[in-house]
Structure 1
Amino acid sequence: MFGEDEDVFDSVTWDSPSAPHEADRHNAAPTGPGFRQSMDEGQDPHQPKWEGYLITSVRDPVKELPETKDAYVSYLVSAKTNLSMFSTSTTSSRRRFQDFVFLREHLVKDFPACVVPALPDKHRLEYLTGDRFSPEFMERRRLDLHRFLQRISRHPTLQRSTLLRAFFESTEWHVFMHQHLAHPPGPEPTPGLIDNLSDTLLNAFARVRKPDERFLDMREGVDKFEDSLVLCERLWNRIRNHNNDGNPESGEDLTADYHDLAVAVQGLGFLESGITDPLNHFSNTLLEFSALLRHKTHTINDPFLVHLHSLLTYSHANRAVLKLRDQKQLDFEELSDYLSGVTVERDRLSAVISGHAGSSGLGLSAYLKDKVDAIRGADDDRSRVEKMRKLDVRIKELQEAVTTAHETSDAFSDETLREQTVFQFAKEAEMKEMLSNLADGEIEFYQSAMEEWDRIIPIIQRIRVDV
């Protein structure tokens, strides 16, 4: 796995701020596969920066505690890196699926602005039928977990997280998990004014009033990409079912059709005694071609479909980050409107106290509010002064909240721009890998098929039938 000389990202430019000497960094040979170690003083601040490489693998699934109710599968996770935060350049440990779940959940919590890929679905039919320890299921799960770690290791922020380092290196992982739960890397968010107002101000149907064109284009690109993946997945599912759907009675299984044709040709050979041997050769070729179709389905088409679906879930995680960025902007807009409303109410009360109620310009709503206050006996100046005092306190809190929401929205937008660049790099790398494997598999299939048919053609041509 680590011996492959494949590019991680072909066009990544990164710098290492912790490097001691600029000249040494420029003159040194690249130490990371696929990373171009170059400096660009005019680099876009929205471009991500990698400090090194991290190559991961998930191998050797093993059933632990067999024949017990606590049986589970452990996987050997390995890493090769030149990141300074790792104690060694190569490390490995055994982890179970729940450890992967813990890793993802806390990466999402610790890095809300990062696109953290999803794990494979746990609620599968195999968990109900008892086949989750079958070699086929464990291999599919291993590939999904391998792809999950691969996506994290390509991320310039996630690859340097303390949690990920401990996931690979810690010999007391369970102790580290408890420590991480007791002492998270960042302070626990305390319910503030934004959180208190979110339930009343924000709702699922609210929309950003001043959308940023950059993120509108990104959302449109994500929509088109996901639509293309869904269409591609649907078409390849049809191709897969047409070639080998596992149900000979469906009439759409080419593998079964070629097998039936081979049996029929073999039966014809028994009837035609003069050409029995050539027909038997032809029947064997049909059987071989049927086996090639079945092999291609299980080794090429099925992994391609699984990777397509996995890439679609990865895109969903990217969409969730875009949605969260919109929510941050929406928080700022709603708080700004709320601050404006409270300020107007405070000015109205001030105008009433000063005897200039008519200058408030609030019209019918202010008039009705004054009448309600009069009925409740809260229309005297002392009540209004008390209300103004409370409103002044609320205005000060809202001004601080609006400033914080504005800074958070801007910072989240900048981080989202970097995340989209990282996602594009990861998507291109995965598409290249996925399509290369598909092309190699198709080439291998057709080359094997051509060899089989080339061997049988001379035999068929030598058949002579007296008419």
Structure 2
Amino acid sequence: MASRTSAVLDVIVENKEITSVIKDRETDPLSICSGDSTYDNSLVQSPSIESFSTIHDIENLSELNMDENSDLCVKIDNPQKHLDTLETYIIFRITTKVARIEFSENEYIVHRRYNDFLWLRQKLIECHPFCIIPPLPGKHSLIGQLDRYSKDFILLRMKALNVFITRVSKHPILSCNEHFKIFLTAASSDFTLHRRQRHPVQQKIKTFNHDNSSHSVLKNKHIEFDKTKAYLATLSEKLSSIEKISSRINKERYDYVSELNSYHPIFTTWATSEPELSEILQNIGSALERSSAAQNALVQSYCNTIGNPIKDFLTYIDVAQETLRKRESYQYAYEVSMDELNKRHSEKDKLIANVHNPSQGSTVFSIWKQSSDDKLEKLGSYIPQLIKKVELNQDNLECANESLRSDIQRWQNEKQQCLKNILLDFVNKQINYYQATVNSWEYVTREINKQSASMRGNLK
């Protein structure tokens, strides 16, 4: 019943969306977009990215990934709405410039939807369990479904997808993944066929539900990864606090802007009834208006400046923490198998010692000896299997350590640059606000001083 209701809601949403888009196309000439041979059967398409190019949200989009010095450059743009009979979704154009020998061409242009990115990330996780796979932007909720075709939402998602694809393309291991290559190069029909095929993956990691108590279960703590885990927890806590406090401050600023907007008209109205103070009152009202505009610009930039970037990076921290927990699962498996091997060795030594030093009668000893011989025979075949299992778990753990160690170092370097950009953007927005406010009041001060000097001159 719930699924049927959800399906009905989806149809209603899609019908409303189609109607609104058709009306927009009739009234807005900018809504006409260029066609795509791959998606010619789509009923309605949203404006191409060129129509969004004047929006401030993507002014730095080109700086995210098109590094001309790299041998693999990927850019995501040109979002278009694709309507099928059963669903509506957004497709993105992916342009790849490559100079690698495993690629037959130097440039590829394909179209992918959000679910294709989800598939790619899952394949990267399966193939490289101890690489820190970058996160994707969250999937829309049912409540927010009505807004998922808005320009703001599409641009926000497109920026996040650019960040994801850039991190993957710059990774020395992930960028060489065969699924990633097909994602960037295959035509839509070939890519759909590839997605439907079953591909062999590495042995899945067996995880244990010990969550936060994992380190108390592990016998031998790894100092290096233990410090990294503690650092990530502290960093996550600090960034969460910054995001919560800045969000609260932004809400207070929003209320402050509302007060300022009702404040400056009072001085303007007052100026009409005070001829002698009219110029001063008008200047003060104008200063308040400019100060309100600067404050409002700061409020409106909050999400793009610090709100969403910090939330996105908190998700990136969660991914790094999850990768560390995978490594702990390997260590736990190694320690469990090692304990089992030691236990069986001890059992075998005790049986051998008891056989050589019998303390019971001959009849009882004969029966007991036969039982001991059976146990020794079983242990003789079981212990070599345990030894192989321990060696395999040890090899897996060492490979996990090496892979994760290099990936954490790479993640740390990226973290420094990412947080630096977030904080610098935040600082610059604050400086711009205070400069605009100070300039508006300095102008008022200069005008008042000029009037005072003029009045003193007239008195003389």
Tell me which interval the TM-score lies in, with the shorter structure as reference length. Answer: 0.7 to 0.9
1:371 corresponds to: none
2:87 corresponds to: 70
1:315 pairs with 2:317: yes
For 1:90-123, what per-residue CA distance to the aligned partner results, in whole angstroms no more than 9, with x for missing partners? Answer: 4332221111111111111111010012212214
Q: Alignment partner of 1:121: what SS?
A: coil
2:412 corresponds to: 424
For 1:266-286, what per-residue CA distance to the aligned partner results, in whole angstroms no more than 9, with x for missing partners? Answer: 232233244445433432332
| Contact residue 119 and residue 145 of structure 1 kept, 8 A | yes
CA distance in 2, matches of 1:169, 1:264: 63
**Amino acid corresponding to residue 421 of structure 2 in structure 1:** E
Q: Give the C-alpha shift of residue 231 in structure 1.
A: 2.3
2:191 corresponds to: 176
2:270 corresponds to: 268
1:97 pairs with 2:85: no
**Amino acid corresponding to residue 213 of structure 1 in structure 2:** I
1:403 corresponds to: 391
| Contact residue 351 and residue 357 of structure 1 kept, 8 A | no
CA distance in 2, matches of 1:325, 1:220: 15
180, 203, 208: which is aligned to 1:189? 203
Pick closer, same or farther for the CA change 1:54–1:424 going to 2, 3 Å: farther
224, 236, 258: which is aligned to 2:234? 224
Q: Alignment partner of 1:116: what SS?
A: coil
1:290 corresponds to: 292
Equivalent residue runs for 1:2-401 within 5 Å: 33=69, 52-65=70-83, 70-124=87-141, 126-128=143-145, 130-172=146-188, 175-176=190-191, 178-179=193-194, 182-184=197-199, 186-187=200-201, 189=203, 205-206=213-214, 207-244=217-254, 253-300=255-302, 302-356=304-358, 380-401=368-389
CA distance in 2, matches of 1:436, 1:54: 28
**Amino acid corresponding to residue 117 of structure 1 in structure 2:** P
CA distance in 2, matches of 1:383, 1:355: 15
CA distance in 2, matches of 1:113, 1:5: 30
TM-score normalised to structure 2 length: 0.74
For 1:275-323, what per-residue CA distance to the aligned partner results, in whole angstroms no more than 9, with x for missing partners? Answer: 4454334323322322222222223554321111111111111111222
381, 400, 403: which is aligned to 1:415? 403
CA distance in 1, matches of 2:192, 2:389: 34
| Contact residue 64 and residue 162 of structure 2 kept, 8 A | no
| Contact residue 118 and residue 317 of structure 1 kept, 8 A | yes
| Contact residue 151 and residue 426 of structure 1 kept, 8 A | no
1:433 corresponds to: 421
Q: Alignment partner of 1:56: what SS?
A: strand
CA distance in 1, matches of 2:150, 2:60: 29
Q: Give the C-alpha shift of residue 423 in structure 1.
A: 0.3
**Amino acid corresponding to residue 181 of structure 2 in structure 1:** R
CA distance in 1, matches of 2:353, 2:283: 103
Q: Alignment partner of 2:96: what SS?
A: strand
CA distance in 2, matches of 1:433, 1:82: 29
Decide which moves more: 348-357 or 385-394: 348-357
Q: Alignment partner of 1:64: what SS?
A: strand
Which structure exhibits the higher relative contact order, with contacts defined as CA atoms closer than 8 Å and separated by 6 or more residues? 1
| Contact residue 275 and residue 463 of structure 1 kept, 8 A | no
Q: Give the C-alpha shift of residue 455 in structure 1.
A: 4.2
Decide which moves more: 108-117 or 274-283: 274-283
Q: Give the C-alpha shift of residue 330 in structure 1.
A: 1.6
**Higher normalized helix content (fraction of residues):** 2
Pick closer, same or farther for the CA change 1:79–1:236 going to 2, 3 Å: farther
1:38 corresponds to: none
| Contact residue 2 and residue 55 of structure 1 kept, 8 A | no
TM-score normalised to structure 1 length: 0.73
Pick closer, same or farther for the CA change 1:278–1:69 going to 2, 3 Å: farther
Unaligned runs of 5+ in 2: 1-57
CA distance in 1, matches of 2:80, 2:101: 31
% identical aligned pairs: 21
Pick closer, same or farther for the CA change 1:260–1:329 going to 2, 3 Å: same
Question: How many residues align structurally?
Answer: 389
